[in-house]
Amino acid sequence: MDSATLTVADGLAVLTLNRPQAANALDVALKTALLDAVRSIAADDAVRAVLIRAEGRNFCVGQDLGEHADALSRSPERAMDTVAEHYNPLISGIAALEVPVVAAVQGACVGAGLGLALAADVVVAAESASFATAFTAIGLASDSGLTRTLVDAIGAVRTRAFILLGTTISAAQALDWGLIAQVAADDEAAATAEAVARRLAAGPTAAFAAVKSLVAASLPPLDEALERERAGAIPLAATADHTGAVEAFLAKRRPAFTGR
């Protein structure tokens, strides 16, 4: 089964995370498939809007921690290579698309999954969806494009508490904070997100590109933040707190942080 699928019709590219059996956790196969799809979309002049959606109960629960534990056991220093190899190009690739991008979020939207959703221009969430950074819960920081994006969207005070406390917020809270654009009833959310995407695919594509360019120009550069995250992530991946927290998650027990 393909980890991600891409269809293009009537100007709309629909990119689907298709690993529902693992809550769409991001393993190498899924990250690579998403990256290939985004590159294909960027090169396809027929695409006038993008819908990013996911199969199953959860949009995306972030990095696959089973895969990450294997990478840590081989080399903590290399375990975060995936950030430069997959996450940075994936997120900045989506953010750089000139056409409007809509994300349809249901269930858990966590960690790099949150980064993926917030790379879209318009997030339409089911009312039972939830949003969390999750990074500190496994001894990581999110000193990345995600941090900058959160500060831009919800301010430094909320971002600091959101990440430090590892808070999980509801779709209503995310809407109230200005993190997402729309909330719809659970049984209407997928159709609502698709309708928004189809409306954008039939709209003034050149004007939309100009709007995205103007908004991007008003924000700090994403690449610099992502590179900073790359620098910050490697030492953290080698801490006992991080390796212990990943092991605890996989063993379904609470981690005990020692500060080292």
Ligand X SMILES: CCCCCCCCCCCCC/C=C/C(=O)SCCNC(=O)CCNC(=O)[C@H](O)C(C)(C)COP(=O)(O)OP(=O)(O)OC[C@H]1O[C@@H](n2cnc3c(N)ncnc32)[C@H](O)[C@@H]1OP(=O)(O)O
135 part of the interface to ligand X, by CB under 6 A: yes
Count of chain residues binding ligand X (CB under 6 A): 32
Interface segment toward ligand X; rule CB under 6 A; list 9-17, 55-63, 170-178, 202-210 = 55-63
**162 counts as binding ligand X under rule CB under 6 A:** no
By CB under 6 A, residue 65 contacts ligand X: yes
**Closer residue to ligand X (CB): 168 or 182:** 168
Q: Could you tell me which residues come within 8 angstroms of residue 133 by beta carbon, excluding any fewer than 6 positions away?
A: 110, 111, 114, 142, 146, 150, 162, 163, 166
Under the criterion CB under 6 A, does residue 136 sit at the interface with ligand X?
no
Please write down the HEC assignment for all residues of the chain.
CCCEEEEEECCEEEEEECCHHHCCCECHHHHHHHHHHHHHHHCCCCCCEEEEEECCCCCECCECHHHHHHHHHHCHHHHCHHHHHHHHHHHHHHHCCCCCEEEEECCEEECHHHHHHHCCCEEEEECCCEEECCCHHHCCCCCCHHHHHHHHHHCHHHHHHHHHCCCEEEHHHHHHHCCCCEEECCCCHHHHHHHHHHHHHCCCHHHHHHHHHHHHHCCCCHHHHHHHHHHHHHHHHCCHHHHHHHHHHHCCCCCCCCCC
49 binds ligand X (CB under 6 A): no
Q: Is 61 in the site for ligand X (CB under 6 A)?
A: yes
By CB under 6 A, tell whether 23 contacts ligand X.
yes
* 110 touches ligand X (CB under 6 A): yes
> Could you tell me how far CA 239 lies from the centroid of its own chain?
24
Residue 146 touching ligand X (CB under 6 A): yes
CA gyration radius for the chain?
Answer: 18
Q: Is 144 one of the binding residues for ligand X (CB under 6 A)? A: yes
Which of 59, 62, 99, 126 is the binder for ligand X (CB under 6 A)? Answer: 62
Q: How far is the CB of 53 from ligand X (least distance, A)?
A: 17
Q: Which stretch binds ligand X (CB under 6 A): 39-47, 136-144, 192-200, 203-211?
A: 136-144
159 binds ligand X (CB under 6 A): no
The span of 40-48, 137-145, 153-161, 189-197 binding ligand X (CB under 6 A) equals: 137-145
Q: Which of residues 209-248 bind ligand X (CB under 6 A)?
A: 222, 229
Contact between 95 and ligand X per CB under 6 A:
yes
The one among 139, 145, 163, 179 contacting ligand X by CB under 6 A: 145
Q: Which residues of this chain interact with ligand X, rule CB under 6 A?
A: 22-23, 25, 61-66, 83, 87, 91, 95, 108, 110-112, 115, 118-119, 134-135, 137-138, 140, 144-146, 149, 222, 229, 249
